[in-house]
């Protein structure tokens, strides 16, 4: 009996020790780590936006793999909720999702791609309004060759704090085509193409004192380019930087060649009434848009008209619909930019009534580049002609136009993150 009593006492003591250790363990257990808690995907015309919502910012690396085609998102300092696997909705880019770990402290998301695509942008947005931290990845449809050229770690997008050594990632196959390493800090800038109207054998409007519109628009284009690049850091190209004639359709081709995010054509007006004055902005009219879409859809070579879509793969009916949708989206964005232009230009000069107008200008008909035409004023008005010949006045207009461009890009970035 004495033996059993001793054993019971020791067992009781042991249980008390274990209980105490358990309570101690519970008291020092770390608070739940920050987490990626939701996944959203938005389908566009030839592109897709992936958004991950998180409790906090985190370090990341994003890259492509092939055989099969995959988008890999490696993260550090963040947990990933298993619930996000069930949040993948039907779309034409991503067919499946898997979660896993990588290295010692990393978590990985693998997205299976249905078609070749390239990573256009990767960025983190801080909390605002009702949103928490948002991690955004923009993908764009691409050719097989483009996709292969962007495969592997050498083409990864990552932030500065991402520790590549800690995850011990196995390097992917090298791309067959040399490509530039991209990351958060050297991603491509927004591109603006400025189009000084007329030129060469085409003088444009002729002012009351004999000044040519082509010279005013070129001077304005150079002024605006300088202000945009110095004050806002966007990349700016001119369709012409000298007195040369460029056909209207070629001006649109130049914008698309540079993969422009925005196209602004610069002109000066003229009227029989010498009292007419005021700046105005034009975007493509609804009727002109429909006619242009129909004309483009009838062309034999329909490849890559919009965001890498090969219309040759689709029926005429589908091609018409895709082109029409793309152009209507472009028109909506053009109108938003025109709105900012009107607001800013009114601060620096006199504007016409109904400042935002609509017309079928050929230079506004790029189906995938938001485009606006700005009439600086009337060269047939002696006062406005003198103003437009003055560098300080053009600089004032350039500052307002550049501010409108910056407002447009900032607005588009926030509006498109849902």
Q: Residue 261 maps to which CATH number?
A: 3.40.630.40
296 and 228 within one domain: yes
Flag whether 174 is in a domain.
no
CB-based contact 274:208 (threshold 8 Å):
yes
349 and 232 within one domain: yes
136 and 236 within one domain: no
Q: Residue 137 maps to which CATH number?
A: 2.60.40.3500
123 and 227 within one domain: no
pTM for the full predicted model: 0.52
Flag whether 28 is in a domain.
no
158 and 201 within one domain: no
CA distance linking residue 319 with residue 311, whole number of Å: 6
152 and 223 within one domain: no
308 and 235 within one domain: yes
CA distance linking residue 188 with residue 167, whole number of Å: 27
279 and 245 within one domain: yes
The pLDDT value given to residue 13: 53
The pLDDT value given to residue 257: 87
- Domain count within the chain: 2
287 and 195 within one domain: yes
- DSSP lists the bridge partners of residue 206 as 212
Q: Among 167, 201, 227, where does a domain finish?
A: 167
Q: Among 167, 202, 233, where does a domain finish?
A: 167
200 and 162 within one domain: no
Q: What is the 3-state secondary structure (H, E, C) of the chain?
A: CHHHHHHHHHHHHHHHHHHHHHHHHHHHCCCCCCEEEEEEEEECCCEEEEEEEECCCCEEEEEEECCCCEEEEEEECCEECHHHHHHCCCCCCEEEEEEEEECCCEEEEEEEECCCEEEEEEEEECCECCECEEEEEEEEECCHHHHHHCECHHHCEECCCCCHHHHCCCCCCCCCCCCCCCCCCCCCCCEEEEEECCECCECCCECCCCCEHHHHHHHHHHHHHHHHHHHHCCEEEECCCCCCCCCHHHHHHHHHHCCCCEEEEEEEECCCCCCCCCEEEEEECHHHHHHHHHHHHHCCCCEEEECCEEHHHCCHHHHHHHHHHHHHHHHHHHHHHHHHHHHHHCCCCCEEEEEEEEECCHHHCCCCCCEEEEEEEECCCHHHHHHHCCHHHHHHHHHHHHHHHHHHHHHHHHHCCC
Flag whether 175 is in a domain.
no
Flag whether 16 is in a domain.
no
Q: pLDDT per position in the chain (418 positions), as tens?
A: 444 444 445 545 554 444 444 444 443 334 446 899 999 998 877 788 999 999 999 999 999 999 899 999 999 889 998 889 888 887 888 989 999 888 767 889 999 999 999 999 999 888 887 888 999 999 988 888 889 889 988 899 998 777 765 544 333 333 333 333 333 333 358 999 999 999 998 999 899 999 999 999 999 999 999 999 999 999 999 999 999 999 888 888 899 888 899 999 999 988 888 999 999 998 887 654 434 333 433 332 232 334 344 444 445 555 555 555 556 677 888 888 999 999 999 999 999 888 888 877 777 777 778 999 999 999 999 999 999 999 999 999 999 999 999 999 987 654 444 4
Sign of CA dihedral 12, 16, 21, 25: positive
Q: Among 114, 135, 167, where does a domain finish?
A: 167
The predicted-structure confidence for 345-369, as pLDDT tens digits, reads as follows 999 999 988 888 887 777 777 777 8
296 and 224 within one domain: yes
Flag whether 196 is in a domain.
yes
State how beta strands 262-269 and 371-378 pair.
Answer: parallel
Task: Find the domain containing 324 and state its range.
Answer: 191-415
Flag whether 161 is in a domain.
yes
380 and 262 within one domain: yes
């Amino acid at each position: 009996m004495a033996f059993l009593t001793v054993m019971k006492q020791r067992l009781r003591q042991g249980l008390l020790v274990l209980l105490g250790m358990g309570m101690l363990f519970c008291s020092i257990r770390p608070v739940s780590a920050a987490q990626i808690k939701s996944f959203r995907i938005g389908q566009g015309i030839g592109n897709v936006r992936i958004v991950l919502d998180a409790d906090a910012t985190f370090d990341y690396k994003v890259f492509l793999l092939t055989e099969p085609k995959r988008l890999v998102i490696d993260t550090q300092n963040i947990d990933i909720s298993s619930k996000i696997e069930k949040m993948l909705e039907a779309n034409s880019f991503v067919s499946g999702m898997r979660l896993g770990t990588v290295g010692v402290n990393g978590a990985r998301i693998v997205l299976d791609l249905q078609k070749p695509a390239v990573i256009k942008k990767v960025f983190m947005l801080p909390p605002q309004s009702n949103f928490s931290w948002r991690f955004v990845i923009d993908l764009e449809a691409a050719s097989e060759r483009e996709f292969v050229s962007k495969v592997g770690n050498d083409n990864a997008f990552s932030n500065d704090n991402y520790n590549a050594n800690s995850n011990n990632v196995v390097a992917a196959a090298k791309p067959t085509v040399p490509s530039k390493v991209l990351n958060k800090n050297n991603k491509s800038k927004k591109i603006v193409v400025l189009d000084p109207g007329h030129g060469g054998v085409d003088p444009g409007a002729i002012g009351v004192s004999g000044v040519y519109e082509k010279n005013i628009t070129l001077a304005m284009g150079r002024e605006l380019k300088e202000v945009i690049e110095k004050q806002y850091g966007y990349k700016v190209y001119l369709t012409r930087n000298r007195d040369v004639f460029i056909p209207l359709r070629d001006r649109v081709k130049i914008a698309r060649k540079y993969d422009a995010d925005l196209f602004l054509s610069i002109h000066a007006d003229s009227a029989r009434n010498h009292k007419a004055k005021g700046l105005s902005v034009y975007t493509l009219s609804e009727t002109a848009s429909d006619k242009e879409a129909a004309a483009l859809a009838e062309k034999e070579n329909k490849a890559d008209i919009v965001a890498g879509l090969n219309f040759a793969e689709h029926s005429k009916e589908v091609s018409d619909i895709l082109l029409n949708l793309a152009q209507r989206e472009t028109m909506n964005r053009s109108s938003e930019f025109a709105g900012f232009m009107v607001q800013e230009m009114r601060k620096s000069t006199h504007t016409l009534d109904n400042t935002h107008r609509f017309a079928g200008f050929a230079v506004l008909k790029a189906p995938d580049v938001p485009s606006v035409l700005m009439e600086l004023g009337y060269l047939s008005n002696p006062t406005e002609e003198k103003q437009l010949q003055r560098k300080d006045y053009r600089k004032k207009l350039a500052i307002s136009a550049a501010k409108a461009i910056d407002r447009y890009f900032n607005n588009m970035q926030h509006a498109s993150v849902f």
